[in-house]
Amino acid sequence: MEPVVEIAGVSKLFSGTPVLQDCDLRLEPGRVHGLVGPGGSGKTLILKTLSTLLRPDSGSVILFGTTVDYGDRDGLRALRDRIGVQFQNLALFDFLNVFDNVAFPLVMTPDPPPTDEIDQRVHEALVEVGLPETAHLRLPELSGGMQRRVALARAAISGADLMVFDDPTGGLDPVFSSRIFVLIGELQERTGSTVVLASHDVDRMTRICGRFHVMDQGRRIYSGNIEDGRESEDRRIRTFLTVEA
């Protein structure tokens, strides 16, 4: 099957320091991909690259069979309409309340659904992440964990073909973390979308991720299933796929 994401030879320098180095990544459609690796290994940057938000210095990014052309506004628009992102640092709009944050990707599509459908979908999404009755609240009234769940709801609301979750359970308690992973798994099954999530919680990831990708020092050093990875020759791969704090 043609991959949804095909990143080849991507490199990126930040003020002279290489943060992505000749990095490859292939995401086959219709499953949950787990991205693991130590802090600072480039997980967030590669997720931003495959969301078209980070333009690499070299290498190519192919999404849905189309090579990303950063100068082509309409082409970028068409791709971005098919991508939903939950950012590691949430990136919720602090000038909007919870409802408007979650509704944002729906409202901003070229052809937005009618208002009552938006209302209904936003409320369903908030119930799913365990935040009913919060629609009217402003973000500062929410705890960090609640904000993370709002960000999840926003990323998932439009049922995008490619959904990106960067540390969806960071700072959440274990019970809620489990629930979020289950939700992401169900979301993927319901939509058939391609999901990629970065996390340190390898244990819970194994329940929903059909495929793992390991990052280290700006490179992807492994792609495959968890069992093979845990028996890899490379000690780094074994370590990252076994226990991660």
Ligand X SMILES: Nc1ncnc2c1ncn2[C@@H]1O[C@H](COP(=O)(O)OP(=O)(O)O)[C@@H](O)[C@H]1O
Positions in the binding site for Mg ion (CB under 5 A): 43-44, 88
Query: Is residue 177 a contact point for other proteins (CB under 8 A)?
Result: no
Query: Is residue 86 a contact point for ligand X (CB under 6 A)?
Result: no
Which among other proteins, Mg ion, ligand X, none contacts residue 92 (Cβ within 5 to 8 A by kind)?
Answer: other proteins
Alpha helices in 51-97 (DSSP H): 73-80
CA dihedral sign, ordered 135, 136, 138, 141: negative
Residue 15 falls in which region: left (phi positive, over 0), alpha (psi -120 to 50) or beta: left
Q: Closer to other proteins by CB, 75 or 210: give it.
A: 75
Name the DSSP class of 107.
Answer: H
Side chain identity at residue 82, one-letter code: R
Query: Is residue 39 a contact point for ligand X (CB under 6 A)?
Result: yes
Beta bridge partners of 216: 219
Query: Is residue 85 a contact point for ligand X (CB under 6 A)?
Result: no
Q: 226 to each of 3, 162, 191, 211, how far by Cα in Å? A: 20, 22, 24, 7
Query: Is residue 37 a contact point for other proteins (CB under 8 A)?
Result: no
Residue span 68-97 as binding mask against other proteins, x where in contact by CB under 8 A, dash where not: ---------x--xx-xxx-xxxxxxxx---
Question: Token pair of 167, please?
Answer: 């540390």
- Binding footprint of other proteins on the chain (CB under 8 A): 48, 51-53, 77, 80-81, 83-85, 87-94, 104-105, 108-110
- Binding footprint of ligand X on the chain (CB under 6 A): 14, 19, 37, 39-45
